[in-house]
Structure 1
Amino acid sequence: MKTNKNILVVMPVEDEHKKTLEKHAKGSHFVYSSYDKVTPEMIKEANIIIGNVAPFYLKEAKNLEWLQLNSAGADPYVKKGVLPENVILTNATGAYGPGVAEHMLAVLFSLQKKLHLYRDNQNQCQWHDEGAVMSLRGGTLLIVGLGDIGLYFARLMKNFGYHIIGIKRRLGQVPQDVDELHTMDDLDKLLPEADVVFSVLPDSKATRNIYNKQRFKEMKNTAILLNAGRGSAVNTEDLCEALIQGEIYGAGLDVTDPEPLQTQHKLWNIENVIITPHISGDFHHPATLYRIVDIAAGNLQRYMAGDGLMNVVDMETGYKS
């Protein structure tokens, strides 16, 4: 049983969230701050940090034993030298399904019904018919990165009659609402079948530039690419060319490479692209913060009891172990 830990919480928690956390670590000292207001002194004193802090601060975290991220992505924290040795790293996988999936569903429907074009017309005070649209129903959805977010998206899309194919690192039982399960080895075989490709990949050596010139040529010219993982999975210049040449129909991007996307980048002005500034997985959805706090509180209870933690990150892959 562990007691008297210094616990730094770097998230926008309310009183009810604080009570949830503190009841699992009685006798510990809690300090509450935010990403932009946390100080090096707070980090140096912390045994446990709950929430994302700027990675460069962590070199001075001499007392740190465990870092619980408020993000599912852990790529900035698994780089060599960021965390002191023997620090346990856990992420918030399982918190972002509703927020990210619902956001990307809205983006998809906007592209299929050309609502983005009508909004552009409205801004120009133009009464103009943009022509034929896509049906919301039916088709094949390929989810690349079938974790919590991908499964939540599958559940939403199943209501619209989609045939759903999932890709994971390792095969296992086919989840509910998924029709087929494959590994990345089958990506080139599956891309030509997909009407919608939903990518939820983290940043790693294995995932960078997966969506490139060759793979855009493999996709249907009516296909829509949705990216809510990391921008590095997409070769941005190749995507621009594929969209301009009509090799794919459109793209919905909550992440880009580079990020932020430069003001003058040509991707901004390509017609069938919807870009949002990496906000689908933030705290905007009301369920997200509650889910993160529940994950952190559960792990806090386990840690104080000396039990193994959930969502431990593999430092080699950046994925949950």
Structure 2
Amino acid sequence: MTASSPNVLVILPLNDAQRARLEAGAPSARYTYVAAKPGAMLGEPSAEQVADADVIVGNVDPKLLAGAGALRLLQLNSAGYDNYLAAGTVPASAALACATGAYGQAVSEHLFAMLLAMLKRLPGYHELQRSHEWGDLGPVCTLAGANVLVLGTGDIGSHFARLCAAMGARVTGANRHGGEAPAGFERMVTMDELPQALGQADVVASFVPSTAETRGLADARFFLAMREGSYFVNGGRGDLVVDRDLVAALEGRHLAGAALDVTAPEPLPTNHPYWDAPNLLLTPHVSGGFHLPVVLDNIAGIAAENLAHLTASEPIRNEVRH
């Protein structure tokens, strides 16, 4: 690789405008685009293409990286990067960068729509429609004046907070360190203050990553600390939740409802209790992905920025230690 003309392998389904945005980051680079097969999100490069690449843009199969001797940058299309952290997966000489900042709009809008659907009993009315029944399901809730607690105040959590605030909610953010409240939040608390904050919230929404501290955090004690009749939303990682404890909180009517776009495991087994849990709205981890075109716009922009940084020997945005 020369500093000015890396060989860039791209496995994302970019359109012409997105390709132009990406290539603006390193105009003299050589770009190879691998089209995805029907039904697939990403292209499947050959071992030879991976071996020849100085830069890969997209979540390539980790097993192929064993032959990536020329690699200098792996730019993931995901915010998560767990599959690439095992020792020796990414060559030591290569930088690993995630796509944090690309998904805020897409994920927050999806989870916000799920929350509003629950508050207005829309899933129940859809069931009435399917059974050809004309019925009234009773009172509904509003976000105007509601207390919303958002766990995780990064890109996605901040987008979600702004949507709730626009509806008149009072939004509290929770993270490890507290600090000054970003736009959309009225105040911040630390995770150590979570038990009290849970009891004050009408809605608890989580967008935290999977860490030793967050895995299993939403357990029976967590849900019991939540206000009776409140709602739980999870768009972060499925392993935050102890499944049986959430189902029990819904079956016991302590929670009024829950909306999940993430589960552990994924796909969800056909015999999992979530399928039949009362007042649980479930989608199959589709809030992110490339369903909203702006996500690929954002990823192309992040990758272009990092191509420019790479050729200029500057620090990489969203770099992850491996």
Deviation at 1:51, TM superposition (A): 1.3
TM (normalized to structure 1)?
0.93
Deviation at 1:256, TM superposition (A): 0.6
**Which residue among 215, 228, 231 is the counterpart of 1:221?**
228
Provide the rounded CA distance (Å) in 2 between the counterparts of 1:106 and 1:23: 35
Please show how residues 72-111 of structure 1 align to structure 2 within 5 Å: 72-111=79-118
Q: State whether residues 51 and 68 of structure 1, in contact with CA within 8 Å, keep that contact through their aligned partners in structure 2.
A: yes
Deviation at 1:83, TM superposition (A): 1.8
Q: State whether residues 75 and 203 of structure 1, in contact with CA within 8 Å, keep that contact through their aligned partners in structure 2.
A: no
Q: 1:129 and 2:136 equivalent?
A: yes
Please show how residues 15-54 of structure 1 align to structure 2 within 5 Å: 15-33=16-34, 34=36, 35-54=42-61
**Which residue among 63, 73, 90 is the counterpart of 1:56?**
63
The answer for unaligned runs of 5 or more in structure 1 is: 316-321
Gap change, CA 1:311 and 1:41, over 3 Å in 2: same
State the partner residue of 2:170: 163
State the partner residue of 1:310: 317
- Answer with 80-89 or 41-50: which moved more: 80-89
Gap change, CA 1:314 and 1:243, over 3 Å in 2: farther
- Answer with 19-28 or 95-104: which moved more: 19-28
Provide the rounded CA distance (Å) in 1 between the counterparts of 2:211 and 2:69: 27
Q: 1:149 and 2:150 equivalent?
A: no
Q: 1:300 and 2:307 equivalent?
A: yes
Give the % identical residues.
39
State the partner residue of 1:258: 265
Instruction: Kindly provide the amino acid, as one letter, of the partner of residue 77 in structure 2.
Output: N
RMSD of Structure 2 on Structure 1 (CA): 1.6
Provide the rounded CA distance (Å) in 1 between the counterparts of 2:176 and 2:163: 22
Instruction: Kindly provide the amino acid, as one letter, of the partner of residue 269 in structure 2.
Output: Q
Provide the rounded CA distance (Å) in 2 between the counterparts of 1:92 and 1:183: 25
State the partner residue of 1:319: none
TM (normalized to structure 2)?
0.93
- Answer with 213-222 or 27-36: which moved more: 27-36
Deviation at 1:92, TM superposition (A): 1.3
Gap change, CA 1:60 and 1:185, over 3 Å in 2: farther
Provide the rounded CA distance (Å) in 2 between the counterparts of 1:22 and 1:37: 21
Please show how residues 272-287 of structure 1 align to structure 2 within 5 Å: 272-287=279-294
Deviation at 1:306, TM superposition (A): 1.1
- Answer with 2-11 or 73-82: which moved more: 73-82
Q: State whether residues 12 and 43 of structure 2, in contact with CA within 8 Å, keep that contact through their aligned partners in structure 1.
A: no
Gap change, CA 1:272 and 1:201, over 3 Å in 2: same
Show CA shifts across 1:188-244 (max 9, x none): 221111111111111222211110111111111211111111101111121111111
Instruction: Kindly provide the amino acid, as one letter, of the partner of residue 142 in structure 1.
Output: L
Q: State whether residues 120 and 141 of structure 2, in contact with CA within 8 Å, keep that contact through their aligned partners in structure 1.
A: yes
Q: State whether residues 74 and 97 of structure 2, in contact with CA within 8 Å, keep that contact through their aligned partners in structure 1.
A: yes
The answer for unaligned runs of 5 or more in structure 2 is: 37-41
Show CA shifts across 1:38-79 (max 9, x none): 222222221111111222322332222211111112222223
Provide the rounded CA distance (Å) in 2 between the counterparts of 1:40 and 1:197: 45
State the partner residue of 1:65: 72
Deviation at 1:314, TM superposition (A): 4.3
Provide the rounded CA distance (Å) in 1 between the counterparts of 2:196 and 2:87: 35
Q: State whether residues 67 and 87 of structure 1, in contact with CA within 8 Å, keep that contact through their aligned partners in structure 2.
A: yes
Q: State whether residues 143 and 169 of structure 2, in contact with CA within 8 Å, keep that contact through their aligned partners in structure 1.
A: no
Instruction: Kindly provide the amino acid, as one letter, of the partner of residue 262 in structure 2.
Output: V
- Answer with 198-207 or 273-282: which moved more: 198-207
Gap change, CA 1:310 and 1:258, over 3 Å in 2: same
Provide the rounded CA distance (Å) in 1 between the counterparts of 2:191 and 2:87: 26
- Answer with 15-24 or 91-100: which moved more: 15-24
Provide the rounded CA distance (Å) in 2 between the counterparts of 1:77 and 1:138: 43
Provide the rounded CA distance (Å) in 2 between the counterparts of 1:231 and 1:263: 16
**Which residue among 269, 275, 278 is the counterpart of 1:271?**
278
Q: State whether residues 75 and 202 of structure 1, in contact with CA within 8 Å, keep that contact through their aligned partners in structure 2.
A: no
Gap change, CA 1:299 and 1:221, over 3 Å in 2: same
Show CA shifts across 1:242-289 (max 9, x none): 111122111111101111111221211122111111111111113211
